[in-house]
Chains A and B, each alone.
Chain A
Amino acid sequence: MSVLVDDDTRVVVQGITGGEGKFHAQQMMEYGTNVVAGAVPGKGGQEVEGVPVYDTVHEAVEEENADTSVIFVPPAFAGDAVFESLDADLDLAVAITEGIPTQDMARVNKRLSETDTRLIGPNCPGLITPGEAKLGILPGNIFAEGNVGLVSRSGTLTYQVVDSLTNRGIGQTTAIGIGGDPIIGTDFVDALELFEDDPDTDAIVMCGEIGGEDEEEAAAFIDDYVDTPVAGFIAGRTAPPGKRMGHAGAIVSGSGTGTAESKISALNDAGVPVGDTPEEVADHIEEFLA
Chain B
Amino acid sequence: MKLHEYQAKQVFADAGIPTPASELASDVDGAVAAAEEIGYPVAIKAQVQVGGRGKAGGIKLVEDADEAREAADEILGMDLKGYHVDRVLVEEAVDFVNELYVGITMDRGEGKPVAMVSTKGGVNIEEVAEEDPDAIAREHIDPSFGMHAYQARKAVYDAGVDQSVARDVSNVLMTLYELWDARDGSDAEINPLMVTSDDEVIAADAVMNIDEDALFRQPELAEMEEEAAGGDELEQKADEYDFDYVRLDGNVGIIGNGAGLVMTTLDLVDHYGGEPANFLDVGGGAKAERIANALDMVFSDDNVDSVVFNIFGGITRGDEVARGINEALEQFDEIPKPVVVRLAGTNWEEGMEILNEDLVTVEQTLEDAVQRAVEYAGEVNE
Q: Is the CB of A107 within 8 A of B144?
A: yes
Q: Closest residue to B109 on the A side, CB-wise?
A: A213
Contacts of B244 in A (CB 8 A): 244-246
CB-contacts of A135-152 with B (<8 A): 137-139, 142, 152
A180 to B142, CA, bound (A): 23
A182 to B112, CA, bound (A): 11
Contacts A207-B260, A239-B263 given: A163-B270 contact, CB under 8 Å? Answer: no
A192 to B129, CA, bound (A): 31
Contacts of B143 in A (CB 8 A): 103, 106-107, 109-110
Against A, the Cβ 8 Å flags (1 = close, 0 = not) of B335-364 are 000000000111000000000000000000
Q: Is the CB of A157 within 8 A of B264?
A: yes
Cβ-defined partner of B186 (8 Å) among A102, A159, A236, A277:
A102
Q: Is the CB of A76 within 8 A of B108?
A: no
Contacts of B46 in A (CB 8 A): none
Against A, the Cβ 8 Å flags (1 = close, 0 = not) of B240-261 are 0000101010000000111111
Contacts of B344 in A (CB 8 A): 159-160, 163
CB distance from B286 to the nearest CB of A (A): 12
Q: Is the CB of A237 within 8 A of B270?
A: yes
Q: Chain B's interface: helix, strand, loop or mixed, by majority? A: mixed
Q: Is the CB of B259 within 8 A of A154?
A: yes
Cβ-defined partner of A277 (8 Å) among B109, B260, B367:
B367
A180 to B264, CA, bound (A): 14
Q: Is the CB of A153 within 8 A of B260?
A: yes
Q: Is the CB of A180 within 8 A of B186?
A: no
Contacts A106-B143, A154-B260, A247-B260 given: A160-B366 contact, CB under 8 Å? Answer: yes
Q: Is the CB of B214 within 8 A of A238?
A: no
Q: Is the CB of A182 within 8 A of B248?
A: no
A50 to B281, CA, bound (A): 36
Contacts of B281 in A (CB 8 A): 245-246
Q: Is the CB of B111 within 8 A of A250?
A: no
Q: Is the CB of A101 within 8 A of B346?
A: no
Q: Is the CB of A101 within 8 A of B213?
A: yes
B13 located at the interface, meaning its Cβ lies under 8 Å from any Cβ of chain A in the complex? no
A155 to B264, CA, bound (A): 12
Q: Closest residue to B248 on the A side, CB-wise?
A: A240
A125 to B266, CA, bound (A): 22
Against B, the Cβ 8 Å flags (1 = close, 0 = not) of A100-138 are 111111110111000000000000010000000000011
CB distance from B136 to the nearest CB of A (A): 12
Cβ-defined partner of A212 (8 Å) among B108, B214, B264, B315:
B108
CB distance from A217 to the nearest CB of B (A): 8
Cβ-defined partner of A246 (8 Å) among B51, B130, B259, B367:
B259
How many chain A residues touch B (Cβ–Cβ < 8 Å)?
Answer: 65
B334 located at the interface, meaning its Cβ lies under 8 Å from any Cβ of chain A in the complex? no
Contacts of B181 in A (CB 8 A): 103
Q: Is the CB of B106 within 8 A of A102?
A: yes
A248 to B113, CA, bound (A): 16
Contacts A246-B281, A255-B127 given: A139-B260 contact, CB under 8 Å? Answer: no
Contacts of B346 in A (CB 8 A): 139
Q: Is the CB of B106 within 8 A of A255?
A: no
Contacts A110-B142, A156-B314, A159-B312 given: A238-B211 contact, CB under 8 Å? Answer: no
A243 located at the interface, meaning its Cβ lies under 8 Å from any Cβ of chain B in the complex? yes
Q: Closest residue to A102 on the B side, CB-wise?
A: B211
B271 located at the interface, meaning its Cβ lies under 8 Å from any Cβ of chain A in the complex? yes
B184 located at the interface, meaning its Cβ lies under 8 Å from any Cβ of chain A in the complex? yes
A254 located at the interface, meaning its Cβ lies under 8 Å from any Cβ of chain B in the complex? yes
Cβ-defined partner of A106 (8 Å) among B112, B217, B257, B345:
B112
CB distance from A275 to the nearest CB of B (A): 10
Cβ-defined partner of B259 (8 Å) among A20, A139, A250:
A250
CB distance from A271 to the nearest CB of B (A): 22
B268 located at the interface, meaning its Cβ lies under 8 Å from any Cβ of chain A in the complex? yes
Q: Closest residue to B130 on the A side, CB-wise?
A: A255
A167 to B130, CA, bound (A): 45
A209 to B345, CA, bound (A): 22
Q: Is the CB of B129 within 8 A of A75?
A: no
CB distance from A70 to the nearest CB of B (A): 14
A235 located at the interface, meaning its Cβ lies under 8 Å from any Cβ of chain B in the complex? yes
A226 to B14, CA, bound (A): 53
Interface centre among A101, A154, A256 (most CB of B within 10 A): A101
A256 to B126, CA, bound (A): 10
Interface centre among B264, B267, B281 (most CB of A within 10 A): B264
CB distance from A99 to the nearest CB of B (A): 4
Interface centre among A156, A260, A279 (most CB of B within 10 A): A156
Contacts A160-B261, A213-B109, A249-B108 given: A236-B267 contact, CB under 8 Å? Answer: yes
Contacts of B150 in A (CB 8 A): none
B313 located at the interface, meaning its Cβ lies under 8 Å from any Cβ of chain A in the complex? yes
A253 located at the interface, meaning its Cβ lies under 8 Å from any Cβ of chain B in the complex? yes
B58 located at the interface, meaning its Cβ lies under 8 Å from any Cβ of chain A in the complex? no
A86 to B84, CA, bound (A): 49
Contacts A111-B144, A137-B315, A246-B279 given: A235-B260 contact, CB under 8 Å? Answer: yes
A121 to B364, CA, bound (A): 31
CB distance from A154 to the nearest CB of B (A): 2
Cβ-defined partner of B184 (8 Å) among A101, A235, A240, A243:
A101
Q: Closest residue to A207 on the B side, CB-wise?
A: B260
Q: List 17 A-B contacts (CB under 8 A).
A: A75-B216, A101-B217, A106-B111, A107-B144, A154-B261, A155-B258, A155-B260, A157-B260, A182-B108, A237-B270, A238-B263, A243-B246, A245-B279, A246-B279, A246-B281, A250-B263, A255-B129
Residues of B in contact with A (beta carbons under 8 Å apart): 51, 106, 108-109, 111-113, 126-127, 129-130, 142-144, 181, 184, 186, 211, 213-214, 216-217, 244, 246, 248, 256-264, 266-271, 276, 279, 281, 284, 312-315, 344-346, 366-367
- 8 tightest CB-CB pairs across the interface, nearest first? A154-B260, A246-B259, A156-B258, A157-B260, A156-B261, A101-B214, A235-B263, A109-B111
